[in-house]
Homo-oligomer: A and B are copies of this chain.
Amino acid sequence: MQDLSRRRFMKGAAAATLAAPFISTGARAAAPDKKLGVALCGLGSLSTKQIAPALQKTQHCRLAGIVTGSSEKAEEWRKRYDLPKRSVYSYDTMHRMADNDDIDIVYVVTPNALHLEHTVAAAQAGKHVFCEKPLEISVERCQQMIDACKAAERMLGTAYRCRFEPHHQECIRLAREQELGPVRIIEAGFGIDVGRPDQWRLKHALSGGGALMDVGVYALQATRYLTGEEPVLVTATETKTDAVKFKEVDETISWTAQFPSGANAYCTASFKIGGIKNFRANCERGWFELDPAYYYGGIKGSRSDGKPLSFPEVDMFAAQLDDFARCIKERRPTIVPGEEGLQDVRIMSAIYESARTGRAIRI
């Protein structure tokens, strides 16, 4: 165990909201150039195809361990990435990471409803936690994750990769600086053909919800980081065309949202209809949009005034991990703390409640 007494405690609501990196990373804090070790917890498609390759491109991180329930995957990954045997864990043994100084961060990439368990295990083992979106399946469980990391004096980050992508960052700048006037009406949607019917995303107990939880969260995030505000009222309708495949979760859901400034959003998420992948921010003197906005690459932007909104491609997974590592090294807050993930879960819960009850939900 690391020396808890060396850590500074953080006080006050503002600090808590920021989830500032109040924590020394022990000996490693003295070596800012050292790459932080990341253990991937959950070796599904996302870890395999996106995150592990991205870790090869990071400046401040390296793949240092894995947590998996599959001995085959364990062996395959250990060989492929030349990992020491002691850095290969199962979900039952991951608490032993406490003794493994090679691992600084656990990136939780398991099904949504397992994020709490794996975050708590990682935090209690003294590791910082970076967690895939959505943070968890309920506000209460998100709060427990935040509390667990706070108690262990570890940072908790939510994997909102778009926040580290230059097109999105430029759109946030355009919105904040009101280059085209204040943002007034946002249209945002993300729909995918979710694929195989036997995946965990379609099981409510593991996912907590369907299209909204998995892809709608990108559109919801966009409405929040473009307005810089929190929605105060949402309404929603949900529809299904395949009641068998989408028996347990939402196939398609659309929602509207009110923001305190008078901004308004209309949005959709779908597990059935691909090709919806955009946002458009309509401002008082024009608009800007990204389409595609949320894919792993190929982001394209445009503005009503014809000025370019184009940047070189980045690996968003690498960018978000490098930022998280720098936050840890430099003891500054991440822009994607657990509280940010919790807030989206809170709003998504309200959207589901609206669709279920037929009432506008005040947040």
A237 in the interface (beta carbon within 8 A): yes
A337 in the interface (beta carbon within 8 A): no
Q: Which of B189, B191, B237, B241 contacts A235 (CB 8 A)?
A: B237
A239 CB contacts on chain B under 8 angstroms: 258-259, 262-264
A25 in the interface (beta carbon within 8 A): no
Distance A235 CA – B237 CA, assembled complex (angstroms): 7
Cβ–Cβ contact A264 & B256, under 8 A = no
**Integer count of this chain's copies in the complex:** 2
A335 in the interface (beta carbon within 8 A): no
Q: Which of B264, B273, B359 contacts A358 (CB 8 A)?
A: B359
Beyond A255-B256, A256-B256, A264-B252, is A354–B187 a contact (Cβ under 8 Å)? no
A185 CB contacts on chain B under 8 angstroms: 189, 191, 252, 254, 268, 270, 273, 276
Cβ–Cβ contact B268 & A264, under 8 A = yes
A286 in the interface (beta carbon within 8 A): yes
Cβ–Cβ contact B237 & A233, under 8 A = yes
Q: How far is the CB of A72 from chain B (nearest CB, A)?
A: 36
Distance A329 CA – B235 CA, assembled complex (angstroms): 47
A164 in the interface (beta carbon within 8 A): no
Chain B: CB-nearest residue to A260: B239
Q: Which of B187, B275, B284, B358 contacts A286 (CB 8 A)?
A: B275
A148 in the interface (beta carbon within 8 A): no
Chain B: CB-nearest residue to A266: B254
A257 in the interface (beta carbon within 8 A): yes
A56 in the interface (beta carbon within 8 A): no
Q: How far is the CB of A247 from chain B (nearest CB, A)?
A: 14
Cβ–Cβ contact A282 & B191, under 8 A = yes
Q: How far is the CB of A229 from chain B (nearest CB, A)?
A: 11
The prevalent SS among residues of A at the interface is strand
Cβ–Cβ contact A276 & B268, under 8 A = no
A266 CB contacts on chain B under 8 angstroms: 187, 189, 254-256, 266-268
A286 CB contacts on chain B under 8 angstroms: 275
Q: Which of A173-222 contact B (CB under 8 A)?
A: 182, 184-185, 187, 189, 191
A245 in the interface (beta carbon within 8 A): no
A233 CB contacts on chain B under 8 angstroms: 237, 358
Cβ–Cβ contact B258 & A237, under 8 A = yes
Cβ–Cβ contact B282 & A273, under 8 A = yes
- Per-residue B-contact encoding for A232-254, CB less than 8 Å = 1, 0 else: 01111111110000000001111
A2 CB contacts on chain B under 8 angstroms: none
Cβ–Cβ contact B276 & A282, under 8 A = yes
Distance A258 CA – B138 CA, assembled complex (angstroms): 26
Distance A357 CA – B273 CA, assembled complex (angstroms): 31
Closest 9 CB pairs of A and B: A235-B235, A358-B360, A241-B262, A254-B266, A254-B256, A239-B264, A237-B256, A266-B266, A239-B262
Q: List 22 A-B contacts (CB under 8 A).
A: A182-B241, A184-B272, A185-B189, A185-B268, A185-B273, A185-B276, A187-B268, A187-B276, A189-B266, A235-B236, A237-B360, A238-B258, A239-B262, A241-B262, A251-B262, A254-B264, A255-B266, A273-B283, A273-B284, A275-B286, A275-B287, A359-B359
